[in-house]
Amino acid sequence: MTELTASARVLLDELIDYAGLFPPAGLDMAAAVHEYAAQRESANAWMLGRFIVPSARLEQMEDAAAALLPRDAGAAPWRISMLAGTDPAEDAERVWSFNERHAHPAAGRAVIDTMELRAGDATAAERAVRSVPAGVTAYVEIPITDDPADLIGVLGGAGGRAKVRTGGVTPDAFPAPAHLARFIRAAGDAGVAFKATAGLHHPVRGQFRLTYEPDSPAGTMYGFLNVFLAAGLAAQGLGLAELEAVLTETDAAAFVFDDQGSAWRRRRLDLDDLRHLRSRAAAAFGSCSFSEPVADLTALHIL
């Protein structure tokens, strides 16, 4: 069995938000909540983050998870990230009501502590952050085809965080490496943390099938090690060309983890760098599979 290094533990801790309701997995609610509950009890539960659910399906999730939520007052609650709907006031009421109900062990302990929204311009970005209830972290998905620095600055000024789409179920859903590198550089320069969503099932960039269908097209997918270590190295002042090189690295051996830190080729992050990365720069990524990233990390002898 591979011994877990200190750097892998820091980097991977609560890294994966579970999005089993969404493509390509597209599980029904009962299957998704049971999978999340099972993974909370698994040996790798320490890597598991939040359960992601659209606001319109929150009550459905409550019903499906009713028998699974922890009822021990000392047990860690399920943490929920709610995708915003079209009515901010209605969403806020859903959050308040849900959190009030599930603060009590008798109802099963759970908390919505994160909301995910979208915005295409500065006005919408600020409005999105302001609509989120107090005490709830706002991640706002923004477009990155054009320079996102101004939008990221608005999010930071309003107390929000950024969200970037890193893939999908078709090849055109994946952003260009130059655009993703520019986003990471801009977020780092502004001191705005981000999360990523979609297309990060695998640790290292490579060619993979884009869905679980037998006739699925293949495409080049980003690796989550590439993305997160690029964000960490951006704090060391890497220019866009070198950040692109991190993002497009396909050799798993280029990523090293030991008890003192982690490295991409000759660039190194110590444990404090990794702690800062996870707490202040790159928070999490959403994946419709938890077992697939775990299996790949195991095959690479990181787990």
- Dump pLDDT digits (tens) for 186-226: 999 999 999 999 999 999 999 999 999 988 889 999 999 99
> Helix, strand or coil for residue 226?
helix
- Rounded Cα distance between 236 and 184, Å, is 12
Percent of the chain at pLDDT exceeding 90: 95
Q: What residues contact 143, with CB distance under 8 A and at least 6 apart?
A: 120
The predicted-structure confidence for 260-278, as pLDDT tens digits, reads as follows 999 999 999 999 999 999 9
Closest CA to 147 of 122, 167, 171: 122
In the prediction, which pLDDT does 3 show?
A: 85
Q: Please give the full DSSP string across 44-57, using - where no structure is assigned.
A: TGGGEEEEEEEGGG
The average pLDDT across 166-183 equals 96
The predicted-structure confidence for 98-157, as pLDDT tens digits, reads as follows 999 999 999 999 999 999 999 999 999 999 999 999 999 999 999 999 999 999 999 999
Q: What is the DSSP letter of 222?
A: -
Indicate if the pLDDT at residue 1 is higher than 80. no
In the prediction, which pLDDT does 73 show?
A: 83
In the prediction, which pLDDT does 74 show?
A: 86
Q: What is the DSSP letter of 253?
A: G
Q: Read off the tokens for 56.
A: 């319109």
Whole-number Cα distances in Å, 130 to 127, 133, 138, 139, 156: 5, 8, 9, 12, 12
- Rounded Cα distance between 150 and 147, Å, is 8
Percent of the chain at pLDDT exceeding 70: 99
- Provide φ and ψ at 286, rounded to 5°: -90, 135
Q: What is the DSSP letter of 273?
A: H
The average pLDDT across 29-44 equals 98
Mean per-residue pLDDT of the chain: 96
∠ CA(254), CA(195), CA(113), 5° rounding? 140
- Rounded Cα distance between 273 and 289, Å, is 28
In the prediction, which pLDDT does 57 show?
A: 98
What domains, with CATH codes, occur in the chain?
15-204+281-299 (3.20.20.120)
Closest CA to 112 of 65, 149, 46, 164: 65
**In which residue are the tokens 């302001």 written?**
130
